[in-house]
Amino acid sequence: MTHLDADVLVIGAGGAGMYAAIAAARAGAERVLLLDKSLVGRGGATVMAQMTVAAALAEESPDDCTLHLADTLAAGRGLCDETLAEVLCCEAPERIREMGEWQVGWARRDNGRIAQVAAPGHSRPRCCYVDFLNTGPAVAATLRRRVGRTEAIRRIGNLTATDLVVADGAVVGAVALDSAAGEPVTIAATATIIATGGLTRIYRRNSASANMGGDGYALALAAGAELVDMEFVQFFPIGHLAPRLVGMDPIMWDPFRYKLGGRLLDGAGREFLAAYGSDETTRYTTSRDLATYAITKEVAAGRGSPHGGVYLSFEHIPPGELEAAFGPVIDRLAQNGIDLARAPVEVAPIAHYQMGGIAVDARMATAVPGLYAAGEAVGGANGANRLSGNAIPEALVFGERAGRFAAAAAKLDRPNWRAGAAVEAIERIRALRDGRAGDLSAAVLLDELRGLMWDCVGPLRDTAGLDCALSRLAEMRAALPQLAVAPGPAANPSLADWFELRGSLVAAEAVAQAAAARRESRGAHQREEFPDSDPGLARSQRVTMTAAGVIVASLAA
């Protein structure tokens, strides 16, 4: 069996993981291991992100990170971890400029200054970009190049971390599944960073890649770490719904709404946002939580569009202006039979980002010795609602910190690997690889899980739905040991599905438990029976796992 040793192990190679690996090497770690269940730098959300990155660079107008912080705290509806939010806002400019030095190619004005545009919730033009559809790929490519040039970093793809190895209360490494060979791999590490991204893949309608099923939250909980703010899942309000769109991202409409002020209309063609407290007129200013709530309510009241969303219309914009703003995108839309000058499209909320996540301090350290987290896997910085453009800087800033502090800790600590502590995880992989007969497969339950989360723990929640979700999730968890797995070691999809279901069930239960426990509405968490925010509940919830594997949510004191 393959065994690897590392000073710093980074699990997940998106923006946060790659930056963490670079920073760990820069801080003196000589053996940095960067692994990913996909190809390094090509899985997860970073490579999919299209648009903008928020940082108080003050290139277009006076700005300061304290102003960015004030906007972030306001958007977070009173729940941001202010220390983490301050780190995010005040270190974003340094990371963005460093990415510029690494040739990411930020768009610039004619005067050579980095272009910064407005976005809802930001009090000034603060969001930079490479181009409106390629910012994420450019960020990922830049970090991949940098990682590739850093000798201390060893990269391994197709390796799924299935368990953290805990000895004497500390994380001492991990067990992973080599998906190509179907073999377990053990990794001893002095410090381990979880950078596995978010969980939006646990929802039927999502903007996620295949690898965003919440593995990192499950790994952290099982190792004894806490999660925070798990009830706050961000639904992107205007995900594309109809007509069918091939070869384009479902969240592509946002930058065009910024630029042109596309109008949101109910099924009868009436504007409705104002009825929900939006002050939007011609500019696009409504926050994501409010727009999601308004659209969901309109549809529930029977005022939606034919496919169960609302209309997004650009028909009031002269065709010349549309062509100038959309550029080549207008041709791609035409190939999909969409002519924005003549008809609206249908849009509806889509699960997009997880505000909650692993609880860390400002060093990105969890309460479990040896365990760090970075990027979307971390909770708290964005509270109950995230500002657009805050997630990529979060990945870069928290990644840099996690790598730097983990490397410093690894220098002081000694490796403490215990092969015995990894046996159960290794045996689990071997047993599953040999196959198991059964009537039900993980793939079937994954499908059911996504529908259940959408229907019962989606943008609008009520007690009956949450109770129903929790009892069905518990049944699914109980069924895990009996699920059918096809035999065969190499690239066995049913083995991968089993592990994905195991992680996604934990992530789903954490969200549902926290949602059930928060008996108010706030930001992205909306409860039918408790429509208002309760000032007495302006506190974060912690989620933990008991020795029996049960997930518990409780309000912090």
Ligand X SMILES: Cc1cc2nc3c(=O)[nH]c(=O)nc-3n(C[C@H](O)[C@H](O)[C@H](O)COP(=O)(O)OP(=O)(O)OC[C@H]3O[C@@H](n4cnc5c(N)ncnc54)[C@H](O)[C@@H]3O)c2cc1C
The residues binding ligand X (CB under 6 A) are: 11-17, 35-38, 43-46, 48-53, 135-136, 160-161, 195-197, 207-208, 211-212, 215, 249, 251, 353, 375-377, 389-392, 395
Tell me whether residue 202 or residue 466 sits nearer to ligand X (CB atom). 202
Task: Give the Cα separation of 378 and 303 in Å (integer).
Answer: 37
Tell me whether residue 178 or residue 266 sits nearer to ligand X (CB atom). 178
Nearest approach, Cβ of residue 80 and ligand X (Å): 16
**Encoded tokens for 210:** 């295949």
Nearest approach, Cβ of residue 133 and ligand X (Å): 10
Nearest approach, Cβ of residue 520 and ligand X (Å): 26
Nearest approach, Cβ of residue 400 and ligand X (Å): 12
Tell me whether residue 266 or residue 500 sits nearer to ligand X (CB atom). 500
Distances (CA, A) of 325 to 131, 285, 319, 328: 12, 19, 10, 9
Tell me whether residue 392 or residue 457 sits nearer to ligand X (CB atom). 392
Q: What are the two backbone dihedrals, phi and then psi, of residue 192, each rounded to the nearest 5 degrees?
A: -125, 135
Tell me whether residue 52 or residue 150 sits nearer to ligand X (CB atom). 52
Nearest approach, Cβ of residue 343 and ligand X (Å): 25
Q: What are the two backbone dihedrals, phi and then psi, of residue 496, each rounded to the nearest 5 degrees?
A: -60, -40
Q: What is the amino acid identity at position 354?
A: Q
| Cβ count within 10 A of residue 552 | 13
Residue 207 DSSP class: -
DSSP class per residue in 142-168: HHHHHHHT-TTEEEE-SEEEEEEEEET
Task: Give the Cα separation of 151 and 28 in Å (integer).
Answer: 12
Nearest approach, Cβ of residue 43 and ligand X (Å): 3
**Does residue 120 come out as left (phi exceeding 0), alpha (psi in the -120 to 50 range) or beta?**
beta
Nearest approach, Cβ of residue 353 and ligand X (Å): 5
Tell me whether residue 52 or residue 492 sits nearer to ligand X (CB atom). 52
Residue 319 DSSP class: H
> Which residues, in sequence order, are bridge partners of residue 350?
236
DSSP-based three-state secondary structure for 456: helix
Task: Give the Cα separation of 34 and 51 in Å (integer).
Answer: 26
DSSP class per residue in 427-441: HHHHHHHT-B--S-B
Tell me whether residue 38 or residue 416 sits nearer to ligand X (CB atom). 38
Closest to 215 measured CA to CA, from 60, 347, 38: 38
Task: Give the Cα separation of 33 and 41 in Å (integer).
Answer: 14
Nearest approach, Cβ of residue 294 and ligand X (Å): 22
Nearest approach, Cβ of residue 471 and ligand X (Å): 27
Tell me whether residue 136 or residue 262 sits nearer to ligand X (CB atom). 136
Tell me whether residue 443 or residue 517 sits nearer to ligand X (CB atom). 443
Task: Give the Cα separation of 271 and 440 in Å (integer).
Answer: 46
Nearest approach, Cβ of residue 287 and ligand X (Å): 15
Task: Calculate the CA 166 to chain-centre distance.
Answer: 26
Tell me whether residue 215 or residue 266 sits nearer to ligand X (CB atom). 215
> Which residues, in sequence order, are bridge partners of residue 54?
127
Return the H-helix or E-strand segment holding 475.
helix 463-479
